[in-house]
Structure formats: C-alpha cells, structure tokens
C-alpha cells in the first residue's frame, strides 16, 4: 500500500470513530418553560436539538397604483365577475372529486353510468337555476376557473363523463355564444384573477 492509500485509510478510520462517537452523544434539548406545552418537530444540529414548526404561507400584496380611472374600473368589473363565478368553480371541483371517488369505489359499468347521470343532472339543475344568467365575460372566467380548480378543462370533463361527441357538440354551442370549453388557466397570464382569488378569502 502506497503512502496515499494509507493516508486515505487513516482518514476513513478516524471518520468512523468520529461518527460512532457522535451517535453515542446524548442530544441536548432546550430548556422548557412553564408554558411550553405545544409539541413541535426538532432537528439534531451536532447534538443540539433545535425546535421548529411549519408556518402557513403568507401572501403580501402591495397597494396597486392605477394608470387611469378606466383601468381601475376594468379591474373592479373583473373582481365582481370573479367573485360571482368562483363559488360555481369550487362546486364543480367538489362535485367532480366526489364523482371520481364514487367511480373508483363502484366498478360496475351500470352503476358508473348512474353516477355520471346523477352528476350531470345535478350540474344541469344548477345551470338552469343560476349559471344560465351569467354574462359572456363571467362564463369565460368560469371556464378558466374550472380548469384552475379541477385541473382539467370543461371540455375534458365533458369528454370523460359524456363522451367525445357530446364534448364536441357542447363546444360548438359554447363557441356560438362566445365561450370556449377548452380555455385553460395560467396564473401568470391571469395574474389579476389570481390576485383577486388570493385576497378574497376563498381558501382561509
């Protein structure tokens, strides 16, 4: 064995002893006060236990400066429309998640068709009762928000539950009245919508 090999062997042996010695060292915990009753996680930093806890994300938004009254008015209209349709997007998310769970539990084709039909009926009833009164702008925002919440476009949802022909037919009708069921959501491109959602308390 040459000198270099012997040198590295000595280092490995010393490191092994060092690591073994560290394993036998009792960790040092911080002293607890009389009011310290909350259990938290801790990290061993060279034998010293450092307590820590994960905090919720905090979004900080600066006061917006408007270039003109018209720009502020446009933002106010957008805010009104987002707040108007966001509950429908959240409903679609919850209903679609429930449908997916039901389809996983019930593997029988006949039962799955019944579940899809019930979901479709429930959504149609809501459409006839409330959503049909939305403006074109509100409908366009809703299709984006469904993609944001569900992770799939309205077109994809219809295609999965009703089939490709139904999705194609619905898309033709939607395009006639100024909608696009294939609209997707981009948090950067739709940053005003994202800001409105995050500052409106929907996820508190």
d(CA 141, CA 80): 11
The answer to whether position 154 is within a domain reads yes
Residue 145's domain spans which residues?
A: 87-198
The answer to whether position 20 is within a domain reads no
* pTM beyond 0.95: no
| DSSP string of 60-129, one letter each residue | --PPP--SSHHHHHHHHHHHHHHHHHHHHHHHHHHHHHHHHHHHHH---HHHHHHHHHHHHHHHHHHHHH
Task: Please give the DSSP secondary-structure letter assigned to residue 41.
Answer: E
Please count the structural domains in the chain. Answer: 1
**What would the two tokens of residue 190 be?**
């739709």
Model confidence at 197, pLDDT cuts 50, 70, 90, reads confident
Q: Specify the range with the lowest mean pLDDT, choosing from 16-25, 68-77, 101-110, 178-187.
A: 16-25
d(CA 153, CA 145): 9
The arithmetic mean of pLDDT across residues 7-36, rounded, is: 54
Per-residue model confidence (pLDDT) at position 80: 94
The answer to whether position 46 is within a domain reads no
The arithmetic mean of pLDDT across residues 85-92, rounded, is: 87
């Amino acid at each position: 064995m040459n000198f270099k090999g012997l040198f590295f062997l000595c280092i490995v042996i010393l490191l092994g002893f060092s690591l073994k010695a560290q394993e036998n060292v009792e960790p040092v915990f911080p002293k607890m006060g009389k009011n310290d009753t909350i259990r938290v996680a801790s990290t061993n930093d060279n034998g010293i236990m450092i307590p820590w806890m994960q905090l919720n994300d905090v979004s900080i938004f600066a006061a917006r400066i408007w270039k003109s009254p018209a720009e502020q008015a446009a933002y106010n209209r957008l805010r009104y429309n987002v707040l108007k349709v966001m509950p429908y997007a959240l409903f679609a998310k919850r209903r679609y998640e429930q449908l997916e769970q039901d389809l996983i539990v019930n593997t029988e084709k006949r039962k799955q068709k019944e579940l899809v039909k019930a979901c479709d009926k429930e959504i149609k009833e809501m459409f006839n009762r409330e959503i049909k009164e939305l403006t074109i702008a509100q409908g366009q925002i809703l299709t984006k928000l469904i993609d944001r919440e569900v992770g799939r476009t309205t077109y994809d949802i219809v295609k999965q539950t009703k089939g490709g022909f139904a999705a194609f037919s619905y898309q033709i009708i939607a395009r006639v009245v100024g909608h696009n069921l294939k609209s997707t959501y981009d948090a950067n491109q739709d940053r005003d919508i994202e800001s409105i959602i995050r500052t409106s308390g929907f996820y508190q």
